[in-house]
Structure 1
Amino acid sequence: MSDIPFTLDQLRILKAISSEGSFKRAADSLYVSQPAVSLQVQNLEKQLNVPLFDRGGRRAQLTEAGHLLLSYGEKIISLCQETCRAIEDLQNLQGGTLIVGASQTTGTYLIPRMIGLFRQKYPDVSVQLQVHSTRRTSWAVANGQVDLAIIGGEVPAELQEVLQIIPYADDELALILPAVHTLAREETIHKDDLYKLQFITLDSQSTIRKVIDKVLTCYEIDPKRLKVEMELNSIEAIKNAVQSGLGAAFVSTTAIEKELQMGVLHRAKINEVSIERTLSVIINPNRYRSKAAEAFSKEILPQFSTFRDFQAIDLLCHHQLNIH
């Protein structure tokens, strides 16, 4: 090992500086002093005989050599973490870690309930949930940073041959209106009524927004003619804005059950229009698959494969929690 010119600690520091953008914030995130971080970087550059950072700007910028080392360093760190999880597995689910990834809707409204049931059965397993975009989540699964994930968008083309993509469930996207809106009195509305509404949406690059636009186009509804009043960055913010009378929105039915029961939102049905997307489970079949991940896949995922009725999920969770 003496001929390897870097340590795992140095790779962790390099990754932290790249993520945080400065030596100071990297030191804070690692709970070490800034001089200690600077010294480690200096030693690393001396050992490799190349500069890793361009220190001319305000933000710590990696050089070409720095980017190359970071690319390999992330793979090394990921493999070390995978090794640790494999060793923990020897305890037969009496410990270890399960890392689950998700896109925004499933990560907010569905997977926490799954984790609750899993933790009741395997209380000694530490469970982490990472909620990011479909693209970022897919790369995390591919790199072994996440054991499995549930996503609502398309896996990046470059990863479709790497990952195993398993269709999991249909997720219906409903049109919601303020409870006092004039159209809330109608049993159904016509698709031309959509052009009269002011919409609140996620940004144009979001997975849900792309799915909605694609499906609307199939029904001969022009998404460009919809009046977008504002773009927000979370489903909760969108629901609150609609509830406050600021506009209408398309959101997953899994996100609005409680608001519908309370009568603070109205779900408007569009005549002969149904907007759905397919959720998928993704795994990397070429990475180590922990016993915790296997147990989660076989024992928890099948119970939630149809989750349109959130009240049914609540009853399932309540029943399971009482059993344990």
Structure 2
Amino acid sequence: MEEELNMELIDRSVKKIELTDAGEIVLAEGEVIMESLNDLSSHLYDLMNLKKGKIKVGIPPIIGFLFFPKIIKGFNQLFPDIKIKISEDDSQKVIQEVRDGLLDLGVVMLPVDEKEFDVVPFVFDELSLFVHHSHPLAQKEKIEMKELQKETFILFKHPYIHNLIIQECQRAGFHPEIGYEISEWGFISGMVGENLGISIFPKPVVNKVDQDLIKAIPFHPSFPWNLGIISKKKKHASPAVREFIKYISAE
């Protein structure tokens, strides 16, 4: 090191080993470097042991509302120093941002292209018809899509459910009469609660509406609503991301 610095670091003119002024500076700076390396090792150890980290997750609105407050609370209790950043948008934008590497994970309706994404199934459920209790269809215990041909639909504005409902109506032989397109599920619930039309929502929404006013009726045949956690294939997943996937899968 003396040759590299072109300075004497040790005073060799005395029997006792003593540092020169330059040596004292090198020692002090070396101690700072060693402390920084120890801090770096500690940070990396914390990361590998899931004490710290950040996860960017994209979620369509109604999925976030139905499932994620409970998920985030539980995960935060286990890993308080792992920060979860939520980006709420429609499924197609979530898929694109996972593809572009802007999000670590997306929670979207299935199916998606499994050649492009790693997929972990998350929810297996179905969509149901929501009507006011005074509506004639409220007497039914099951409903076929073709029976809705003359009804006024109140549709969720976000494409991921909106387009699916229209496709299913067309498959049943009609184009739905859309009275209202609304981006907030509570507003739609209120409209159905005033008997201003019918709507189609994921079945778990029934636990969030006034069941004295609104009835949820399952479809026959069933109208699947399956969700998955997606990540970009071949993209490295941090320990925090892997643990988050494991946690959601176990819920």
TM-score (norm 1): 0.57
The residue identity in structure 1 corresponding to 2:68 is: I
- Would you say 1:181 and 2:135 are equivalent positions? yes
Is the alpha carbon distance of 1:217 and 1:88 closer, same or farther for their aligned partners in structure 2, counting shifts above 3 Å? farther
1:164 paired residue among 115, 118, 126:
118
Which residue identity is paired with 1:114? I
Separation (CA, whole Å) in 1 of partners of 2:118 and 2:185: 28
Question: Counterpart amino acid of 1:265?
Answer: I
Q: Which amino acid letter does the alignment assign opposite residue 277 of structure 1?
A: W
Distance in structure 2 (CA, Å) of the matches to 1:135 and 1:287:
20
1:209 Cα offset (Å): 2.1
1:149 counterpart = 2:102: no
How many Å separate the matches in 1 of 2:241 and 2:145?
43
The answer as to whether partners of 1:152 and 1:280 remain within 8 angstroms in 2 is yes
- Give how far 1:117 is off: 1.0
Is the CA contact (8 Å cut-off) linking 1:96 and 1:124 kept in structure 2? yes
Q: How far did 1:257 drift?
A: 1.3
Distance across 2 between alignment mates of 1:250 and 1:206: 13
How far apart, in 1, do the equivalents of 2:44 and 2:95 lie?
A: 24
User: Partner of 1:259 in structure 2?
Assistant: 209
TM-score after normalising by structure 2? 0.72
What's the counterpart of residue 104 of structure 1? 61
Distance 1:177 1:253, change over 3 A: same
Q: Choose the corresponding residue for 1:194, options 113, 127, 148.
A: 148
Q: Where is the helix percentage greater, Structure 1 or Structure 2?
A: 1
Letter in 2 for 1:301: I
Q: Which residue of 1 aligns with 2:11?
A: none
Q: Determine if contact 2:54/2:83 at 8 Å carries over to the other structure.
A: yes
Counterpart Cα distance in 1 of 2:117 and 2:50? 25
Larger relative CO (CA 8 A, sep 6+): 1 or 2?
A: 2
Q: Is the 8 A contact 2:92 2:160 kept in 1?
A: no
In 1, the alpha carbon distance for the partners of 2:118 and 2:218 equals 35
Deviation at 1:121, TM superposition (A): 0.7
2:236 equivalent among 252, 272, 288: 288
5+ residue gaps in structure 1?
1-86, 305-324
Q: Could you report, residue by residue, the CA deviation over 1:265-321 in whole angstroms, capped at 9, with x for unpaired residues?
A: 111344x332113212211233231111111111x22233xxxxxxxxxxxxxxxxx
In percent, how many aligned pairs have the same letter?
22
SS of aligned partner of 1:273: strand
Question: 1:133–1:244: structure 2 CA closer, same or farther, 3 Å change rule?
Answer: same
Aligned-residue Cα RMSD (Å) equals 2.5
Cα deviation for residue 118 of structure 1 reads 0.5
Q: Could you tell me whether the CA contact under 8 Å between 2:131 and 2:214 is conserved in 1?
A: yes
Do 2:120 and 2:249's aligned partners in 1 also have CA atoms closer than 8 Å?
no
Count how many residue pairs are aligned between Structure 1 and Structure 2: 208
State the match for 2:22 in structure 1.
none
State how far apart, in whole Å, the 2-side matches of 1:178 and 1:273 are: 22
Shift of 1:223: 4.0
Show the counterpart of 1:33.
none
Contact 1:173–1:275 (8 Å) recurs in 2: yes
Q: 1:123-151 CA distances to partner (integer Å, 9 max, x unpaired)?
A: 12111111112221112222332221210
Distance verdict in 2 for CA 1:179–1:303, change over 3 Å: farther
Give how far 1:178 is off.
1.4
For the 8 Å contact 1:89–1:290, the answer to whether it is kept is no
Write the distance in 1 (CA, Å) between the matches of 2:44 and 2:56.
14
Aligned match of 1:137 in 91, 94, 117?
Answer: 94
Matched, 1:237 2:175: no
Distance 1:88 1:141, change over 3 A: farther
Q: Following TM superposition, by how much is the alpha carbon of 1:183 offset from its aligned partner in structure 2, in angstroms?
A: 2.5
Higher percent of residues as strand: 2
Residue type of the partner of 2:118? Q
How far has the Cα of 1:189 moved from its partner?
A: 4.5
Deviation at 1:199, TM superposition (A): 0.7
Question: Given that residues 144 and 221 in structure 2 are in contact (C-alpha distance below 8 angstroms), is that contact kept between their aligned partners in structure 1?
Answer: no
Are residue 208 (structure 1) and residue 161 (structure 2) matched? yes
